[in-house]
Amino acid sequence: MTVSGPETPTRQHPLAELFEADAAPLIEDAADNHTVLTVDRGHLLEVLRRLKETPELDCDLLLDICAVDYEDRRPRFEVVYHLTSLDKGHRFRVKVPVEENDPVVPSAYGIWKAADWFEREAYDMMGIRFDGHPNLRRILCHEAFQGHALRKDYDPAQRWLFTDQETMTPSWTDEEGEDDGDHFEAQVLNLGPSHPATHGTLRTVMRLDGEVITRADAEIGYLHRCFEKMSETHGWNQVIPYTDRLNYCSSHLNGAGFALAVERMLGIEAPPRAQVVHVILSELSRLMDHAVCLGAVLVDLGALTNFWYFFQVREEIYGLLESCAGGRLTVSYARVGGLAHDVPADFSERVRYLLGYIPKFIDDVERLITTNKIFRDRTEGVGAISAEDALAWGWTGPCLRASGVPYDVRKAYPYFTYGEYDFEVPVATSGDCYARYLVRIEEMRQSLRIVRQAIDDLPSGPVITDDHHAALPPKEKVYSEMESLIWHFKLIYEGIKVPPGDAYAFVEGANGELGYYIVSDGGGKPYRVKVRPPCFAIYQAFPHILEGHLVPDAVAILGSLNIIAGELDR
């Protein structure tokens, strides 16, 4: 198994003059609208800094850092950075080849704080060490874990049994002069991993001075199920049921995003009908995700009624998803090239019914909450983050928009048929819990607006591509025609043959930009799948936001960030 390396470009890239001659990276344009920069690690930080600071490049958002193990290639590893400029709209992929016997690259934490957890993850999974990282420890695996699970030579059948009660030691205990003597004795409080107010298995350790949090540290990984490793051992379409278990509150979004990523690599497109159905179900899933988030945060703050109103909405949407896909929570409805099968005959009717049904409940919740003084007092100014900080931490989605940055993948890089619909991006400026609530409420209304336009314009036709290199032929042909039966067998036994190469595709998930970085070696299985989960970037800022807040505020902040453990830990 070999994946071909980058070819030497024949002519100088127009961007090359922006870099100093001796540090000039190898620049080429990739098919997925990314500019790929290959740089040696000695010049990495210089190139990254230039990407951020040169006005023509202006990369303010570090989206993802991951490592790829090209087992047969020398150097064996490649560390991949994904960057974007919100103003310029261009996207960069920076690749750093790393030798197996000296897997060290300088840390980008000093340039973008977003590098913090992404570098820890690359260290944990691939054993790449980031020189200068303030806290390079394992993040998804247990501290006593041996080896690096995503390396190709790591046997997934290995089992580790941890008998001792090793738990995370908070990062601050190593520090000298912790007790400055003036305060009461610092108390350490453990929130989670199993706690009614942590939705999902999240553990936060807080050092308290009275009731004020002075330091906090988060431990994640309790729900780590090796999504990426499993993807490498199964076919392209078999990954879709796994993606349902990433953000399980809006599972269709994940499957549609993964299918889109593979379709882009194959150079095919889903038929128009499938794209519109994707949009409708994605928007309803987003609405459902926001409903769960708001319902849950309001329960934590003592307002139980809203939870029931929102879950009534969610039940109805689950009913629709079940009638289309056959599953409620884990829908597995998307396929590479379209949808598993057509929507039921009464689909339009049911969607139109939902369009009339849902707004009543959003209005009720607004009437109960938006102007309620108790809620405003609990959330206004709590957990506020500025637009600069949010960008530095790599935030995207509703939480970033609550800080005033109108970045929405559906508008910035329209996919499916989003470009055809008229909708607005809700933004607030204060970036606190209340702003995040307001943004989510408005996004629910905007989602309904998109669904209304999409259902009025639902095209007829097939729902999956007729390219039998990618999609199973229709069943009646499999039963009756020899050629279709052969394609059917080949696709199931050998899988889809995705051309060798790599691509990063991204959609607007319920919590922000959900990206899939996919590497193919031309075989029937993915060579590497890296998810960029929006929660991961958001949650890494959480311990820092907590400082100076009260313990009850921690619950409000955690709820308003909408951390989904399935997506966070994968």
Partner 1 sequence: MKNVPTVNVDRPSQSIGERIYLVPVIKGLGVTLRHFLRNLFGQRDVATIQYPEVKRQYSERLRGRHILTTKEDGSLRCVACYMCETICPADCIHIEAEEDPEATVEWEKRPRVFEIDLLRCVFCGYCVDACPKQAIIMSREHEMAFETRDEAVVGIGELRQKGPIDKEDLGYRPYF
Residues in touch with partner 1 (CB under 8 A): 86-87, 89, 234-235, 237-242, 305, 308-309, 312, 315, 322-327, 330, 332, 340-342, 344, 364, 367-368, 370-374, 376, 380, 405-408, 411-412, 423-430, 434-435, 438-439, 441-442, 446, 472, 474-476, 478-479, 485, 488-489, 492-493
Least Å distance, CB 488 to partner 1, is 6
Of 31 and 492, nearer to partner 1 (C-beta) is 492
Please report, for residues 42, 135, 232, 487, 492, the alpha-carbon distance to residue 45 in angstroms, rounded to integers and kept in the order given: 8, 18, 31, 49, 45
HSE at residue 408, side-chain half, CA atoms within 13 A, is 19
CB of 319 to partner 1, least distance (A): 8
SS (H, E, C) 236-284: CCCHHHHHCCCCHHHHHHHHHHHHHHHHHHHCCCCCHHHHHHHHHHHHH
**Smaller CB separation from partner 1, 211 or 424:** 424
Minimum separation from the CB atom of position 240 to partner 1 (A): 8
Give strand pairing partners of 207.
Answer: 188, 215
Closest separation between CB of residue 524 and partner 1, Å?
Answer: 11
CB of residue 232 to partner 1, shortest distance in Å: 13
Is residue 234 left, alpha or beta, with left meaning phi > 0 and alpha meaning psi from -120 to 50? beta
Q: Which is nearer to partner 1, 358 or 405 (CB)?
A: 405
- Residue 41 has a CB neighbour count (10 Å cut-off) of 17
Q: Which is nearer to partner 1, 310 or 517 (by Cβ)?
A: 310
> Please, which residues have CB within 8 angstroms of residue 270's CB and are 6 or more apart in sequence?
259, 260, 263, 278, 337, 338, 339, 416, 463, 464, 465
- Neighbour count for residue 96 (Cβ, 10 Å): 25
Q: Which is nearer to partner 1, 191 or 439 (CB)?
A: 439
Nearest residue to 546 via CA among 536, 537, 556:
556
Q: Please report how close the Cβ of residue 340 comes to partner 1 at its closest, in angstroms.
A: 7
Q: Which is nearer to partner 1, 216 or 518 (CB)?
A: 518
Residue 493 CB neighbour total at 10 angstroms: 9
**CB of residue 493 to partner 1, shortest distance in Å:** 6
Distance CA 267, CA 499 (A): 9
Nearer to partner 1, 213 or 294 (CB): 294
Q: What gap in Å lies between CA 91 and CA 30, rounded to an integer?
A: 10
* Closest among 561, 280, 551, 533 to 436, alpha carbons compared: 561
Report whether the peptide linkage leading into residue 106 is cis, meaning its omega lies within 30 degrees of zero.
no
Least Å distance, CB 384 to partner 1, is 12
Cβ proximity to partner 1, 2 vs 370, nearer residue: 370
Q: 17: closest CA among 60, 42, 49, 54?
A: 54
Nearer to partner 1, 38 or 430 (CB): 430
